[in-house]
Amino acid sequence: MADLLSLQQRAAQGEKLAILTGYDASFAAQLEAAGIDAILVGDSLGNVVQGQRSTLPVTLAEMIYHTAAVARGAGNTFIITDLPFGSYQASPEQALQSACALMAAGANCVKVEGGAVMLETVSFLTARGIPVCGHLGLLPQSFNSLGGYKVQAKTATAAEQLLTDASALADAGAAMIVLEAIPAALAKQATDAIAIPTIGIGAGVDCNGQVLVLYDMLGITPGKPPRFARNFMADTNSISEAIAAYITAVKQRTFPADKHSFHAT
């Protein structure tokens, strides 16, 4: 199984990490068979599996259920699970309790959204043997404060803050950081500035890896797909071919293309 250190080393050596979300055993098995580098049990399952309007209603019990299903389907793949809204923001102790439940269900790493406010939690969990993935830029759990799902860090001040947060998360012990919906040039700056992998989603080709919502890359999410997503089923004949094509495109840097990326101006 790809462990955290080997993923970090491969990223440091220039290999692009290909990650997709997964929510159940059957898709997880397909992802593992295709050689995906890691599976993210994202709270996006609220949107794409449950049909919710946001990730906010997703519960810890649901994340445990889906993590266990993914772990059964892909027992040899590194699994990152989102700590859902309300399960970690109160205190590092609350985060530890929630993270332990996810790790017991099969997660190898947990993901938290936020910068400065999460530093204490990141170092608290990391010191207790729980790898933590940070998440900066567009934070879906904060869409109410952000005024919707918009590209982030377009001003010089916000870009500076994102760079500060990325370095601080790395210093606090984060294992990797998801950068969502930010200008590609800023994602490159953050990637160059820190020693841990950055995983982009709508953050340009220069991140150390990419992640997409599985249903977006299969073209089955209802409604208009996000601009940063690409439907890999459109050019392939099966789910396994589409996943393989995604992995190849990430490794060869043909995804994301410029049309999937954002710019500050």
Binding residues (CB under 6 A) for ligand KIV: these are 21, 40, 42-44, 82, 178, 180, 201, 211, 213
- Going from the C-alpha of 215 to that of each of 45, 233, 239, the distances in angstroms are 10, 10, 11
Considering the complex, what minimum distance in angstroms separates the CB of residue 168 from ligand KIV?
Answer: 20
**DSSP-assigned beta bridge partners for residue 132:** 110
Q: Closest separation between CB of residue 238 and ligand KIV, Å?
A: 23
Q: Say which residues have a Cβ less than 8 Å from residue 114's Cβ, sequence separation at least 6.
A: 89, 134, 135, 136, 139, 142
CB-nearer residue toward ligand KIV: 148 or 265: 148
* Comparison of 30 and 198: residue with beta carbon closer to ligand KIV: 198
32, 120, 180, 241: the catalytic one is 180
Give me the least distance between CB of 126 and ligand KIV, in Å please: 19
* Contacts of 144 by beta carbon, 8 Å cutoff, 6+ apart: none
Give the nearest distance from C-beta 182 to ligand KIV in angstroms.
13
Residue nearest to ligand KIV (CB): 42
Nearer to ligand KIV, 210 or 265 (CB): 210
User: Apex CA 39: angle with CA 141 and CA 121, to 5°?
Assistant: 45
Has 180 been annotated as catalytic?
Answer: yes
CA distance 206 to 35: 21
CA distance 248 to 136: 26
The smaller minimum CB distance to ligand KIV, of residues 61 and 127, is found at 61
Residue 18 host element (H or E): strand 17-21
H/E stretch holding 110: strand 109-111
Catalytic residues: 180
